[in-house]
A and B are shown apart, each in its own frame.
Chain A
Amino acid sequence: MELSRRVSVVSGLRYRGRAGMLTWLLHRITGLGILLFVGTHVIVSFFGQQFGDDLAFAINAVYESWAFQIFVYFSVLFHALNGTRLALMDLFPALISFQREMIWLQWLIFIPVYSLPVYVMVQTALSGA
């Protein structure tokens, strides 16, 4: 019997997968986000460099702004940490039974490493630098 992939949005939202579901979902969203940011940035920079296109510079200015970098940093850091956890669990299958503890550890690392630079970025931006 094949696995059905036709699941309605409502039943998808009702499914409670706990911490592992959240990291899976965030890994997917941040991965697609990085692909979108970096793909756009590469194409736009190419047009800016070759043809001096104004729209290209405008898009790159948005990309480099501190507000947008908060999202970029979230995506890159979360994807990196979660990917490391996944790779470690695949390399050492004994760790799979400690998945919940590893996710806790991952958030324990993520929260300070993410929030301290974001605090500095926001403070620098709002103080008029």
Chain B
Amino acid sequence: MRSVRPTRSAGSFEYGMWLFTRISGLALLLFGAISIGIGFLLGGRQYLSMPAMFRWMFFPNPNHVVNSDIPDVSLGWSNAFWQIYSMLMIFLATVHGFNGLRMVLEDYTERPLLIAFLRGLTMLLLVAGIIVAIYVILAS
């Protein structure tokens, strides 16, 4: 009986994305915990609602947080720290999310040409999402 040798070529990219998914998922939870904690410290604990908590947690940006009645938004949230923080979070979240979409699509697709097309489409959406989000962060 002959044992099947695992192919090497497919390994590196998939392994990299596997590792990235784990690390970015844990990092997003850590980032979310930090920004919701600071949101509470800045006075947000008076305005508890589910949408407001998601705003502080996952996109701590003045233009976003202003919708949740938090006092002095411009003082607490509009500085370079939160801009870089939001950009890092957006990068981790979009790559994590669109890589997940790619994996689900490839689970149900067999034709190589279709897989290549779907990968291109996913990549296009990923880049567009990052550009729009960075524009929103820098414009606010």
Contacts and interface: CB of A to CB of B under 8 A. Distances in A.
A35 B25 contact: no
Interface string A29-53: 0011011001100110110010000
A66 interface: yes
B132 interface: yes
Most chain A beta-carbon neighbours within 10 Å: one of B63, B100, B108: B100
Contacts of B133: 42
B129 A32 contact: no
A5 B97 contact: no
A101 interface: no
A84 B136 CA distance: 30
Given A31-B104, A32-B104, A117-B50, 8 more contacts: A5-B108, A32-B101, A38-B93, A49-B136, A83-B25, A84-B25, A84-B26, A84-B29
A123 interface: no
Interface residues of A, number: 29
Contacts of A69: 50-51
A91 B29 CA distance: 16
Give 8 closest A-B pairs by Cβ, nearest first: A69-B50, A35-B97, A64-B51, A83-B25, A87-B22, A31-B100, A46-B132, A87-B26
Contacts of B51: 63-64, 69
29 contacts: A5-B107, A5-B110, A31-B97, A31-B104, A32-B101, A32-B104, A35-B101, A39-B97, A39-B125, A39-B129, A42-B132, A42-B133, A42-B136, A46-B136, A49-B136, A69-B51, A72-B50, A73-B50, A76-B54, A80-B25, A80-B29, A83-B29, A84-B25, A84-B26, A87-B22, A90-B22, A91-B22, A117-B50, A121-B50
Contacts of B93: 38
Interface of B: 22, 25-26, 29, 50-51, 54, 63, 93, 97-98, 100-101, 104, 107-108, 110, 125, 129, 132-133, 135-136
A46 B125 CA distance: 15
A42 B98 CA distance: 14
Contact of B63 (A28, A49, A63, A83): A49
B80 to A, nearest CB: 21
B25 A87 contact: yes
A35 B100 contact: yes
A55 to B, nearest CB: 17
B31 to A, nearest CB: 12
A80 B25 CA distance: 8
A45 B136 contact: yes
